[in-house]
Amino acid sequence: MEDQRNPEDIVSFDVPLFIRLLEFAREDATDDIALHKVTDNIISMCQDGQVLDMNDYEKIIDITPDTPTDNMNSLDERILKIAGIK
């Protein structure tokens, strides 16, 4: 059976980074918007199939408020599509 996954929907990171991202989500994220921005950063950084590690952490959590709202709407649409909601 042919693999039907869309590579855009796949992100990869090692276990230490995964644990740190969970800690960020639980302890440091100020709101859902921060989590959406982090998710967008991870998706963007994994476009070419890279496996992210702790060296990528600072870039992942760079959630400066200058991200345009239109970009967030696009991210929200992608997340809903990936989750099978839309």
Q: Dump pLDDT digits (tens) for 48-82.
A: 889 999 999 999 999 776 545 445 566 677 777 77
2 in a domain, yes or no? no
Quote the CA–CA distance of 9 and 43 in Å, as a whole number: 8
44 in a domain, yes or no? yes
Mean pLDDT on 18-39: 94
Question: How would DSSP label each residue in 2-70?
Answer: -----GGG---B-HHHHHHHHHIIIII--SHHHHHHHHHHHHHHTTT-PPB-GGGHHHHT---TTS-HH
Report how many domains make up the chain.
Answer: 1
Amino acid making up residue 3: D
Predicted local confidence at residue 8, as pLDDT: 65
Predicted local confidence at residue 1, as pLDDT: 47
Residue 61, domain extent: 7-82
47 in a domain, yes or no? yes
Predicted local confidence at residue 82, as pLDDT: 74
Give every CB contact of residue 7 below 8 A, 6+ residues apart in sequence.
Answer: 49
40 in a domain, yes or no? yes
